[in-house]
Structure 1
Amino acid sequence: MKLDRARIWDLFAGTPAPLGYDPILFWKGGKTDPSYALLQLDPARIELTGLRQRSAGLPSLVWRAPRG
């Protein structure tokens, strides 16, 4: 797990904004900070919408994970 933590830390630190950021802003102890952890999400459904889309009466964009 330590390798994954370091790899993800470096990924965020090395990716330009707005997707990347400097993790040291949140975890002062760096890659080994005990409060720094990884969370893996496996979504079954994602719905995207925005104010402009909703005010125009357009439907949300919906993604569903393949079954099986």
Structure 2
Amino acid sequence: MHSLEDVAPVFRDMAHAIVWASVATVDGDGRPRSRILHPYWEWNGTDLVGWIATVPTPLKRAHLDAHPEVSVSYWRPSHDTCSAEATVQWYLDDDTCGRVWEAFASAPAPVGYDPFIIPMWSDGPTSDQFAVLRLAPYRLRVMPGTVMTAGEGETLLWSAS
């Protein structure tokens, strides 16, 4: 097992290079549902926090009300993979939504983008169709594709105690 300080920046860099993640939630009956989302990860040297700008659909809200956790998985054709299991909290307030909107808008490509390109967000971060999910990881895994394809490199694992 590795320290968060060793794994988090490597996870963030790989996740931001891949950009799109399969994010799974679980409904009240224990059935999983996956969707493709675009998380943004902040690492300050001590804490890793993920942010997802999303539409607060009744289905997502019901799933996260029943089970406020997600599994986030990234993959690219070179077989680089990274994943996070995290607790989730909804943010609908204008301050948080505005800050996360600006984080996406000002981040470098490919993880950064102009959120106004999403038609249902044409009213900006105060739109009732715009919400933010805050992800607090409790487990991270980073595996360069060379571990699987060539037996080279190292899989990094971190788990909160």
TM-score by length of 2: 0.36
The runs of at least 4 aligned residues of structure 1 exceeding 6 Å deviation read: none
- CA deviation string 1:3-29 (max 9, x = no partner): 111111112111221231111122233
Structure with greater strand share of residues:
2
Let me know the Cα RMSD of the aligned residues: 1.8
Paired with 2:117 and 2:143, the residues of 1 have a C-alpha distance of: 30
- CA deviation string 1:19-47 (max 9, x = no partner): 31111122233112222111111111111
Tell me which structure has the larger Cα radius of gyration.
1
Q: What is the one-letter code of the residue matched to 2:148?
A: R
Report SS of the residue matched to 2:98.
helix
Identify which of structures 1 and 2 has the higher relative contact order when contacts are C-alpha pairs closer than 8 Å and 6+ apart.
2
TM-score by length of 1: 0.74
Q: Structure 2 regions of 5+ residues with no counterpart?
A: 1-92
For 2:114, the equivalent position in structure 1 comes to: 22
Fraction of identical pairs, as percent = 36
For 2:97, the equivalent position in structure 1 comes to: 5
Q: Structure 1 regions of 5+ residues with no counterpart?
A: none
Paired with 2:157 and 2:105, the residues of 1 have a C-alpha distance of: 30
